[in-house]
Amino acid sequence: MATINAANAGTYAFDDTFKVNRLGYGTMQLTGPGTWGPYAEPEKGIQVVQKALDYGINFFDTADSYGPWFADRYLAAGLKGAANRDQIFISDKVGQTRQGPDVWTPHGEPNYLRQQVEVSMMTLGIDHEDLVFLHRIDSHFSIADQVGELKKLQDEGKIKHIGLSQVSVDQIKEAQKVAKIDAIENLYNVSDHHDDDVVDYAADQNMAFLPWFPLATGELAKSGSVLSTIAKKYNVSPAQIALAWLLKRSDNIIPIPGTSSVDHLADNVAAANVDLSTADFNDLSELSTKK
């Protein structure tokens, strides 16, 4: 029986010295309803992070707006004392404000972005950010001003890598005039992959691509879904097939499924052991185009 380990998914190199396993973990579900307020069982959330480490996950995706701040706190607590802490990569996001459950308002004022990076470092207990995404481009400020502030922080040694979230190819190109962009995080999954051009451009430019909503928050994983027939062929869950499709889609993709359940975490990581045939991959790829 294959071991449950994120390393089985292969690795992605952000630079010459650091490789991450291509199945990560997203902290968004470690909050209250509407991604607002504290998680109902904080200790359980911390335990999920600790279990993720046991399963070989060394890539954790978070954001100051998750809670806000609560997910960062649980992540910091879960990683505290980890034996391999220097081999753990955290991707963070700034540029969204929160006014209540399910309310997200972009704010890209350069001073605000700088403030959020500084506060995130304090909350996470780190002296630099491995990767910071501009969570959303704010139309009230130029891309040059928003990405430019992240570039200043990078020059100061506070950010190693810069990323963009929910962007088009044209917006990426605009940002590349200001700074080196190393990662993109867009909505993308087996039933909604209309951003194929972004994935391909990112791969061509040696950028990582993080698909958020990789399981449509469980919708793709439901028994009886379109994925069920193929899942039965491999004797795995629909969620594992959805993640296996992402891993096979492109070598620059790093899925970051989130969960507050240790059992679901194990199921997600086990997707690293699924080797989809070309025929099944192609059949799954048609799901989005049929919408």
Domain over 6-289 is classified CATH 3.40.50.970: no
Q: What confidence tens digit (pLDDT) does each residue in 102-143 have?
A: 999 999 999 999 999 999 999 999 999 999 999 999 999 999
Mean of pLDDT values over 139-158: 98
Q: Residue 1 — pLDDT band, cuts 50, 70, 90? A: low
Length of the chain: 291
As separate numbers, helices (DSSP H) first and strands (DSSP E) second, the chain gives: 10, 11
Nearest CA-CA partner of 231 in 221, 222, 241: 241
Preceding omega of 68 cis (within 30 degrees of 0): yes
Reply yes or no on whether the pLDDT at 155 is more than 70.
Answer: yes
Q: Is 221 a residue whose pLDDT tops 70?
A: no
Residue 33 has pLDDT above 90, yes or no: yes
What integer is the mean pLDDT of 229-233? Answer: 92
Burial of residue 13 (number of CB atoms within 10 Å: 0-12, 13-18, 19+)? exposed
- When pLDDT is cut at 50, 70 and 90, the band that residue 228 belongs to is confident
CA 184/CA 259 separation, integer angstroms: 21
pLDDT given for residue 229 in this prediction: 87
pLDDT above 60: residue 203? yes
pLDDT-derived band of residue 27, with 50, 70 and 90 as boundaries?
A: very high
Give the mean pLDDT of the chain.
94
Please report the pLDDT score of residue 227 as a whole number: 83
pLDDT, one tens digit per residue, over 161-170 is 999 999 999 9
Identify the bridge partners of residue 11 per DSSP, sorted by sequence position: 21
pLDDT score at 95: 98
**What is the average pLDDT across 49-55?**
97
Question: Above pLDDT 90, what percent of the chain?
Answer: 86
Q: Which helix (H) or strand (E) holds 11?
A: strand 11-13
**3-state DSSP helix/strand/coil % of the chain, to nearest 5:** 45, 20, 35
Which of 41-55, 156-170, 218-232 is predicted least confidently? 218-232
Summarize the confidence of residues 169-182 as an average pLDDT: 98
Instruction: Say whether pLDDT at 15 is over 90.
Output: no
Give per-residue pLDDT as tens, 189-198. 998 888 999 9
Query: DSSP assignment, residue 178?
Result: T
Task: Supply angle C-alpha 138, 92, 70, rounded to 5.
Answer: 100
Q: Which residue has the higher pLDDT, 91 or 225?
A: 91
What CA–CA distance (Å, rounded) separates 194 from 247?
17
> Environment class of residue 138 by beta-carbon count within 10 Å: exposed (0-12), middle (13-18) or buried (19+)?
buried
- For residues 261 and 291, the model is more confident at 261
Per-residue 3-state assignment (H helix, E strand, C coil) for 129-174 = EEEEEECCCCCCCCHHHHHHHHHHHHHCCCEEEEEEECCCHHHHHH
pLDDT at 286 over 90: no
Tell me the catalytic residues.
66
- How far is it, in rounded angstroms, from Cα 154 to Cα 232? 47
290 pLDDT exceeds 60? no
For the chain, percent of residues with pLDDT exceeding 70: 96
Segment 62-89 shows an average pLDDT of 94
